[in-house]
Structures are given as C-alpha cells and as structure tokens.
Amino acid sequence: MSNAPQQQDTAVRMSGIEMRFGPVRANRGASLEVARGEIHALVGENGAGKSTLMRVLSGMYVPNAGTVEVSGRDVTGWSTARAIESGVGMVHQHFMLVPTLTVAENVILGRELTKGGQLDRARAVAEVRTLSERTGLLVDPARMVRDLSVGEAQRVEILKALYRGAKILILDEPTAVLSPPEIEELWQVLRGMRDAGDTIVLITHKLDEVMAISDTVTVMRQGETVGRVATRGTSPADLARLMVGRDVTLAADMAHHASTTAGAHQQEQGAAALEVRDLVVQGARGVTAVNHVSFSVRPGEILGIAGVEGNGQTELIEAIAGLRAPRGGSIHLGSADVTSMAVRPRGDAGLSHIPEDRHERGLILDFSIADNLVLGQQHRFRKGALLDHARIAENATTQVATYDIRPTDSSLPARALSGGNQQKIVIAREMSRDFTVLLAAQPTRGVDVGAIEFIHAQLRQAREAGKAVLLVSADLAEVLALSDRVAVMYEGKIVALLPRAEATIERLGAFMTGAEHAA
Amino acid sequence: MMTREKFEEAVLPPVVALLVAMLVGDALILLFGQSPGAVYRMLLEGTWGNAYGLGQVLYKATTLTFTGLAVAIGLRAGLFNIGAESQLAAGGFMAAVVGLAIPAGVPALLLLPVYFLAAALAGGAVGALPGWLKARFGAHEVITTIMLNFVVLALLNYLISSRFKVPDTLHTRELASGRLPRLDAFLPAFHGSAANVVLLLALAAAVLVGWFLFRTRAGFELRATGLQPAAAEYGGVKVGRVWWHAMAISGALAGIGGLNYVLGYKGYYEEGFATGAGFLGIAVALVGRSHPVGIVLAALLFATLSQGGLAVNALVPKQMVDVLQAVVIIAVATSVPEVRRLLRGFRRSNDA
C-alpha cells in the first residue's frame, strides 16, 4: 500500500464511532484526528465519552459502528494485543500494576526476558534503567511497586507502555493523583517524547492543563465530538463553553474571586463547631495515616484541606465520621465529645457527611432514589419497626424537586443516574438533615461542570447559614474557590494552615510535596 | 415498563434454566432408550397427577421453603449460609428433645409455640455462631458454616446414639403430645402422604420474610448491608451486628423447617431425617432469586423433581432426576447474566 504523505502525518483518525453499552450510548458518531508528533488533548465532562473513545482506539472495545485508522491503516475492531504491537499504548486512570513485584518485573510483565528458561532479571533491570534514563521517567527498577508513591507508580505505567514500543501514547487523566511539581515533571517528559517524534493523546477535564501542554484540542460532549481547535487559538472559557454547551463560571475564576472576598468571611473567634485534637488514625496495613492532627472549624467557616490524595485525608474524614476508630486524640462536635461514638449518634449530634466515594459509601446503587434519600436516617423515617414509605416518598418528591435530581422518578435505582445526579442525591440528603458540621470529601469528583457549580453554591449556602464545613478536595482550584482557611496534609500531618489570602497555588504546591514545612 | 423489565429479568433466568434442564433430560432419557414424552408424563402423573404424589411434593416443598428462605436471608445480607443442613437438623432435634419431656394430653395448639421456639433457638444458635465469628474475627462464613455442619451433625448423631435412641433404631421415642395433623385429616384424598399443616407455617414464614425484608427498617438495613456494606456502615448500620442477626434468623428459619418431619410427619427425631434438604435450600434460594414468592415456587419445583425421581424409577434410574436438578442449578447460576445480556440485545434491536 502506498502511503500518501498526508496519511503519514496523521497518526490517528477515528470517525463515526458508535459505542453502546445496553441502553447507554457512550459514543454517538464521535470522531478524532491526531497528527503525528503532537500532544493532543481530549477534553470533555465526565461521561462525555472520552475514555470510551480511547478504549476503542486501544482495542479494548469493538465499536458498534465507525472506523479507526492508525497511520493510515484501517484497524477498526482490533485487539489490545494488535494495538500494542502496532505501537498504541494506553495508561489507565487506575494503575494496573502488581504491588509485590519490582518496577522492572512489572515493566517486562508479559514480555519476560529469559535465559535458559529462567527470568533474566539482570537484563530486565538494565533495560528498564536505560529506558528510564532516556525518557526522564526516573524510578529505581529494583524497587517494589508497593513502596512507590503514586507519581512514581504512574511513571512505571508509562514505562510499561514505552517498553512495549508505544509510539502513540494515550494517558487517561494522568494528573488526578499528582501534586503540582509532579505534574510539571510529567509535562517535561511528555514534551521530550513529543520532540522525539512520539504522539500523545491526553484525556483530561482540566482546562489549565490543556492550555499548558497540548498542541491541539478535541472537545467531546455527550458522546459526540463538538470541536477540534489549535490550543494557541482558543481560551479556557471557549473550551468550557464547548464542553458544557453554555457559559459557565470556572472554578479558577471563582478562586480569584474568593481571594478578594475572603476577608468578608473571616469569623470573629467563637466556639468551634468541630474540634479535632491530637488525632492519630491508622490506615490500611497498619501504617499511621493521620499523625497527631489538630484543628478546629468554626460556625460559618469553610476549612479546606488540600493535599495529594493518599496523605491521610480519607482516614481523617472517616475518623471524624465514625467509620474508623482513632488510635489517639479526641473529636468534639460543639461541646460533645464524640470520639468513641458510633456513626448514628454522631449524625444525631449534628454531623453531616458527603463521603468521597459515592459508589462505595454514599449510595446503595441498587436501592431507589427515594430509599437513598433517607440512607442514614432510616431511624427517622419509620413507624415502629416499619419504614414509613409514605413519608419516604413524600421526602423524595420534595428533594427531587428542590435539588433538581433527574430523572424525577424516585423509584428508579440510583445506578440508573448520571454521576452528577447521583451526587445530587447525596448532597440533597446530607444538606436537608439537621446539622451543624458538614464533612464534604471530594464533593465534586466525577460530576459535570454544571453540577459542580450547583454543589459549590450549596456549600457556600451552608456556610452562610452558619454551618461549619470541612472540605477535602484533591482539586486545588476547588479548595481555593471555597475555603476561608486552607490546610495542607502531607504524610498524615497538617503541614500548613493558612488564611485564604495567603494561600497561593505555588505555596500550597510546595507544602503538598513536603518541599516546605510550616514552622 | 420498568416493572415489566424487572419482572422479566427476575423470572426469565429460572424459566430458561428449566428449559435447558429439560433438553438435557431429553437427551438422557433417549440414552436410556425411553421416550422423553412418556417419562415426563409419568413424572407429572406421579407427582401432580394424584393426591398422594401431590402430598409428597407438598411435604418436601415445605422443608425446602424453610431452608430456601434461610439461605435467602443470608444472601440478602451478603452472606452465603452453607449451614442450613445442620441448622435444620439442630432445630428438629431440639424440638424432639423438648417434646420428650412433655407429658401426654397437652393440647398441640398450646405446645406449638414451645416447639417453635425450641427449633428456632437451636437452628438460630447454630447460624448465629458463624455470623458472630465473621463479625468479630472476620472468619469467612462459607468455611465456618461448612465446618460447623460436620461438627453439629456429628454431635447430634452422638447424642442420639448415646442417649436418646430407641434401641435398634436411629430415632427417638415418639412424642407424647404436640403432634400436628396431616392434611389427610381435612382432605381424605391425601391419605398416606406426609403433607401436614407445617405447610401453612412455611407459607406464613415466606410472607413474613417478605414483609421483614421489604417493609421493616431492619430489613432495609439488612439489604443495604448485603448490597454495599461500606454504604450501610456510612448510613449508621452496625454491619457486624446485621451479619450475626441475619445468620441467626437464617438458622432459625432452617431450624423451624425441622418441625415438618418431627411434629408433622413421624413424631420423632431420626438421624438424617432430611439429608440434603439444607443443601438443596441453596438451590431453591438461587433459583427463587432470594424472593419469597420465587422461593415457594422453586421449592415446589425441586420437590416435584425429587418426588418425580421415584415415580419414573421404572423407566429410568431415579438418579437421572438428580442430574436434572443439578442442571437446573448450573443453568441458573450461569444464565442470570447471560439472559440479561440477551434481554438488552432484544431491547436494543427493538429501539433501533
């Protein structure tokens, strides 16, 4: 086959991609064109079909319709094995590494080098080291994967793809788990790869990243491709409009706005609504996840906790919520010591909790919307031993209307709803109960831009109503947009606690990586 | 629309499984040189075709309803109770032991609560132990219930042979009072069959279990725990407590099933009186999709097959019916996701 020059320049061309999962159409005639040697950002809200489209490209899914061309060759419906052979590699959001093997062993897994029937470990280590040094993805090949930080584990994933000869590298939301300096390092590596002639497709929904790293942007909305523009010729506001289909207020703008108005919310010293003193909590595998942490949140204040995920935030929230017994220290709600209370009495004492994982904790996916709207308050919606279904239905009607939960049929299982609407169920439930302290853990994770606006407004409303809000978010822009004070957690400790006016991305970034320690 | 879909998804897998089992049955029957039509006709005539056969089916279905409900309560709480076999035996045994101490002449209606409680407590205790071990130490209930089957059955056999048996038998004395009437007391046509009024207890238990699971707050918390323990815990449910409570209820239901034999049929406890009924309860719960209505129907199905095996023995070995039962179970276990996918496929092509 004679390759026309323009085909040589096109690394990937996908058109009319249709991908259905049962009644769900994840891709509706989506298209994508990526030039060789560029960094191409694929953006869109959660559920826009970005990951699905990339899984079609990497051979994980066979599309119901449409064509996939790689380097001018029709490869529609190929297998992952063929995709890897042809140099298409994908780094997934959730790492697929074996924790008890070394870096080198993970990298060569599936392509093991042997010498006389045995693994040639020495050569594996040497090859991985060479690759690591050449690309700048620095990580010691001899270390166990379970001992690596998240950033290092991600480098191993990328190495794995490159080791298999990837020339077209797909990265699915690679920065979700990285601190700002780690993100900067990743950009360095990606630029190096691009300059060496490799092609990179970056899935993301963070527009500042798009502007920082990409050459070209493709925007998806509801399974369709709605735009393809040169990064130089666009702006975050334009991209956001394409993503959502209307004008939106970006969290980054809000952050700016908040910094100028934060003074208005500075509270006079009053009694704390939530007081955590010298708290010690063990995480999984017995490590100390929360290490002598103390802070307090006053009524009418949002305290934001920033930090790279996995630095003890989850365990801290779980300990306050009563889901994990602390090893030491105390937790007070107002004047009540709740340190050893169970979950339900804590709720009755005025604690409300938006958990970080709605699929695991926040919702029972097979229960109806109505039942989910009373989860945690089933002891209030009852007649004797029976559930009061009439009141549960009445409550559902009210909440569905107030919080604009769609679809409105509250007998549907929560599973049937989009991420944003699922989160609205959680928000509706936790905001409508009687509370003084709200724990909001990753409240906007995996929800669309429209729902983010709504949730942020709800959190602000809670503050205006005099509630104490403890916000934990991996999204720095979100923390900055909402908080009156910002704390940074690093390796189980609060390493900084700053008033909003003094919290800049640069300073927080330094604390998040442990580069700077508060006195 | 939604409810129709739900109904289809719940009912189609067992129906398809039954069809698959019948096809396998056809093949087996042909291998034995018989005509499938004749064998199936004989199977139906020997079960639903006459009052005696029907009575035997109802008797077997009674025990299976109890063990099926027992396993279903566990499944709804996210637990796999493999111990219904020994819980059933313990319930029957305790009822008999208590009954032996009661003199003749006490009215059965007065005694029923006593027997009921004895069976429920004994079965419930055998069930609660693995539930508690799981809640307290994280011991997996599949392992502990299997192991407890051996321990409990061996213990009961020891007690029977060392203390309670009538010489030269494996059973206790007959109870002096409290025996429940068989169906032939009301409908003479059932004469000779083991069916008895415990049947009504089984139906009442099915209604009660449905009410408990879907109407009460405790049932709400139990189902929440079974679907997503982390979310239940977040919702203020003490998951460990739900586990051992569910296992206690499960064991109690199986234990009450022991009354079917002890009070309704023979009037004494006999070693191995319902061997296999506990394990078959797992199949009943799975085929019945852990729903009370489904369980009653599945219990009737399995009771029909096991009684039918005896009826067709003249034409084909009765083990053939055991094979059919096994095929139903395997087909249900594998067909659930398959049939769902099929359904979605149909809908997709209808929408297009």
What's the gap in Å between the CA of B235 and the closest CA on chain A?
A: 4
* Chain B residues inside the 8 Å CB shell of A364: 224, 227-228, 231-232
Q: Mean pLDDT, to the nearest integer, of B207-222?
A: 96
Residues whose CB is less than 8 angstroms from the CB of residue B103 and which lie 6 or more positions away in sequence, other chains included? B176, B177
Tell me which of B209 and A359 has the higher pLDDT: B209
Judged by DSSP in three states, B160 sits in helix
Tell me which residue in A323, A366, A385 faces B217 most closely, judged by beta carbons.
A385
- DSSP letters, B186-222, are T-GGGTT---BTHHHHHHHHHHHHHHHHHHBHHHHHH
What's the gap in Å between the CA of B5 and the closest CA on chain A?
A: 12
**What is the tens place of the pLDDT at every residue in A401-417?**
999 898 889 999 998 88
Q: Put the strands of the sheet holding A65-70 in their side by side order.
A: A24-35, A10-21, A65-70, A73-74
* Chain B residues inside the 8 Å CB shell of A347: 236
Helix (H) or strand (E) holding A336: strand A336-337
CA angle A372, A377, A382 (to 5 degrees): 100
Per domain, the residue ranges of chain B are 54-311
* Chain A residues inside the 8 Å CB shell of B350: none
Q: Mean pLDDT, to the nearest integer, of B219-244?
A: 96
Cβ distance B233 to A323 less than 8 Å, yes or no, reads yes
pLDDT of residue A7: 44
- φ, ψ dihedrals at B108, nearest 5°: -60, -35
Confidence of residue A207 (pLDDT cuts 50, 70, 90): confident
Residue where the block lists tokens 């379970």:
A146
CA distance A168 to A147: 29
* Chain B residues inside the 8 Å CB shell of A343: 233-236
Is 3.40.50.300 the CATH classification of the domain at A5-247? yes
* Chain A residues inside the 8 Å CB shell of B236: 342-344, 347, 376, 378-379
Cβ distance A363 to B216 less than 8 Å, yes or no, reads no
**Is the distance from CB of A499 to CB of A266 less than 8 angstroms?**
yes
Instruction: Please check the confidence at residue A448 and state whether its pLDDT lies above 80.
Output: no
pLDDT of residue B333: 74
Confidence of residue A453 (pLDDT cuts 50, 70, 90): confident
Is residue B221 within 8 angstroms of chain A, CB to CB? yes
Report chain A residues touching chain B, CB-CB < 8 A: 20, 22-23, 321, 323, 342-344, 347, 353, 355, 357, 360-367, 371, 375-376, 378-379, 382, 385-387, 389, 411-412
Report in angstroms the alpha-carbon separations of B137 from B129, B131, B134, B141, B158: 12, 10, 5, 11, 29
Confidence of residue A96 (pLDDT cuts 50, 70, 90): confident
Task: Tally C-beta pairs within 8 A across A and B.
Answer: 74
What's the gap in Å between the CA of B344 and the closest CA on chain A?
A: 6
- Within this chain, domains A5-247 and A249-350+435-519 share the same CATH topology: yes
**Sign of the C-alpha dihedral computed for residues A383, A386, A391 and A392 taken in this order:** positive
What's the gap in Å between the CA of B137 and the closest CA on chain A?
A: 16
Instruction: Please check the confidence at residue B52 and state whether its pLDDT lies above 60.
Output: yes
Is residue B344 within 8 angstroms of chain A, CB to CB? yes
Confidence of residue B91 (pLDDT cuts 50, 70, 90): very high
Least confident of A137-146, A422-431, B212-221, B292-301: A137-146
Instruction: Please check the confidence at residue B351 and state whether its pLDDT lies above 50.
Output: no
In CATH, the architecture of B54-311 is Orthogonal Bundle (1.10)
What's the gap in Å between the CA of B68 and the closest CA on chain A?
A: 23
HSE-CB of A87 using CA atoms within 13 angstroms:
14
Instruction: Please check the confidence at residue A70 and state whether its pLDDT lies above 80.
Output: yes
Confidence of residue A267 (pLDDT cuts 50, 70, 90): very low
Instruction: Please check the confidence at residue A8 and state whether its pLDDT lies above 60.
Output: no
Cβ distance B224 to A364 less than 8 Å, yes or no, reads yes
Q: Mean pLDDT, to the nearest integer, of B137-157?
A: 96
Tell me which residue in A344, A360, A387 faces B236 most closely, judged by beta carbons.
A344
Strand duo A118-119 + A114-115: pairing:
antiparallel
* Chain A residues inside the 8 Å CB shell of B232: 364
* Mean pLDDT of the residues in chain B: 90
Residue A34 is which amino acid?
V
Residue B23 is which amino acid?
L
pLDDT of residue B340: 56
Q: What is the DSSP letter of A144?
A: B
| Size of chain A, expressed as the number of residues it contains | 519
**What is the tens place of the pLDDT at every residue in B304-314?**
999 998 888 88
Instruction: Please check the confidence at residue A293 and state whether its pLDDT lies above 90.
Output: yes
Tell me which of A243 and A156 has the higher pLDDT: A156
**What is the tens place of the pLDDT at every residue in A217-236?**
999 988 899 999 999 999 88
pLDDT of residue A4: 43
Mutate to test the interface with B, among A18, A378, A380, A389 (most CBs of B within 10 A): A378
Is residue B232 within 8 angstroms of chain A, CB to CB? yes
Instruction: Please check the confidence at residue A254 and state whether its pLDDT lies above 70.
Output: no
Residue A293 is which amino acid?
V
What's the gap in Å between the CA of A22 and the closest CA on chain B?
A: 6
Strand duo A199-204 + A39-43: pairing:
parallel
Percent of chain B at pLDDT > 90 equals 68
Tell me which residue in A342, A366, A387 faces B215 most closely, judged by beta carbons.
A387
Instruction: Please check the confidence at residue B350 and state whether its pLDDT lies above 80.
Output: no
Residue where the block lists tokens 């900055």:
A480
pLDDT of residue A263: 44
Cβ distance A371 to B221 less than 8 Å, yes or no, reads no
pLDDT of residue A103: 93
Residue A233 is which amino acid?
G
pLDDT of residue B13: 78
* Chain A residues inside the 8 Å CB shell of B242: none
Residue A434 is which amino acid?
D
CATH number for the domain formed by residue range(s) A249-350+435-519: 3.40.50.300
Is residue B347 within 8 angstroms of chain A, CB to CB? yes
Whether cis (ω within 30° of 0) applies to the bond prior to A5 is: no
**Is the distance from CB of A88 to CB of A68 less than 8 angstroms?**
no
Highest mean pLDDT (candidates A254-258, A339-343, A514-518): A339-343
Report the candidate in B339, B227, B243 with the shortest Cα–Cα distance to residue A413: B227
**Sign of the C-alpha dihedral computed for residues A456, A457, A460 and A462 taken in this order:** negative
Instruction: Please check the confidence at residue B117 and state whether its pLDDT lies above 60.
Output: yes
* Chain B residues inside the 8 Å CB shell of A344: 236
Instruction: Please check the confidence at residue A140 and state whether its pLDDT lies above 80.
Output: yes
Is residue B138 within 8 angstroms of chain A, CB to CB? no
pLDDT of residue A113: 77
CA distance A310 to B48: 63
CA distance B207 to B65: 11
Confidence of residue A452 (pLDDT cuts 50, 70, 90): confident
Q: Where are the alpha helices (DSSP H) in A174-297?
A: 180-195, 207-213, 236-244, 251-261
Instruction: Please check the confidence at residue A6 and state whether its pLDDT lies above 50.
Output: no
Q: Mean pLDDT, to the nearest integer, of A153-174?
A: 91
* Chain B residues inside the 8 Å CB shell of A375: 224, 231, 234-235
Q: Mean pLDDT, to the nearest integer, of B238-261?
A: 97
pLDDT of residue A3: 43
pLDDT of residue B252: 98
Tell me which residue in A342, A364, A378 faces B227 most closely, judged by beta carbons.
A364
* Chain B residues inside the 8 Å CB shell of A389: 215
Is residue B216 within 8 angstroms of chain A, CB to CB? yes
- φ, ψ dihedrals at A378, nearest 5°: -60, -25
Judged by DSSP in three states, A12 sits in strand
**What is the tens place of the pLDDT at every residue in A486-496?**
999 988 999 99
Q: Mean pLDDT, to the nearest integer, of B154-177?
A: 92
- φ, ψ dihedrals at B127, nearest 5°: -80, -40
Q: Could you tell me which chain B residue has the CA closest to the CA of A354?
A: B234
Confidence of residue B352 (pLDDT cuts 50, 70, 90): very low
* Chain B residues inside the 8 Å CB shell of A412: 2
* Chain B residues inside the 8 Å CB shell of A342: 236, 238
pLDDT of residue B256: 97
Q: Mean pLDDT, to the nearest integer, of B37-51?
A: 91
Per domain, the residue ranges of chain A are 5-247, 249-350+435-519, 365-433
pLDDT of residue A253: 55
Q: Mean pLDDT, to the nearest integer, of B326-334?
A: 81
Instruction: Please check the confidence at residue B176 and state whether its pLDDT lies above 90.
Output: no
**Residue A332 CB: number of other CB atoms within 10 A?**
18
Report in angstroms the alpha-carbon separations of A174 from A39, A152, A154, A178, A186: 14, 12, 8, 8, 9
What is the ipTM, given to two decimal places?
A: 0.85
Q: Could you tell me which chain B residue has the CA closest to the CA of A366?
A: B227
**Residue B278 CB: number of other CB atoms within 10 A?**
28
